[in-house]
């Protein structure tokens, strides 16, 4: 499974509450996409990355929910480009 697939799977687990502590989504691929303004590794915004250490658990889970949505949108966009 590709890294994005693993990140999407982890997002589903975190959002479902299957993790006692909310892990960081960082995968050590720290490059910002100039168009989407999202990290190419973890699909977070610069603000989300900067605030992560001070966020409450609920806010972190919300970021994970958004990561899952962003990955799904990116995958759908990729499929449309190949049609």
Q: What is the pLDDT of residues 34-71, one digit of tens each?
A: 999 999 999 999 999 999 999 999 999 999 999 999 99
The rounded distance, in Å, linking the Cα atoms of 46 and 48 is 5
Query: Percent of the chain, pLDDT > 70?
Result: 93
The rounded distance, in Å, linking the Cα atoms of 71 and 11 is 10
- The pLDDT-based confidence of 81 (bands split at 50, 70, 90) is low
Domain carrying residue 61: 3-81
The rounded distance, in Å, linking the Cα atoms of 44 and 81 is 23
The rounded distance, in Å, linking the Cα atoms of 34 and 7 is 21
**Structure tokens of 2?**
């590709």
Residue 27 has pLDDT above 50, yes or no: yes
- The 10s digit of each residue's pLDDT in 36-46 is 999 999 999 99
CB 68 within 8 A of CB 15: yes
Structural domain total, the chain: 1
**Structure tokens of 12?**
């589903």
């Amino acid at each position: 499974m590709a890294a994005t697939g693993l990140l999407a799977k982890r997002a589903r687990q975190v959002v479902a509450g299957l993790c006692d502590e909310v892990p960081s989504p960082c995968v050590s691929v720290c490059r910002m996409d100039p168009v989407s303004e999202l990290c190419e590794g973890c699909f977070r915004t610069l603000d989300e990355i900067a605030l992560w250490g001070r966020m409450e658990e609920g806010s972190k889970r919300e970021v994970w929910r958004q990561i899952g949505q962003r990955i799904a949108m990116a995958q759908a966009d990729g499929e449309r480009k190949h049609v």
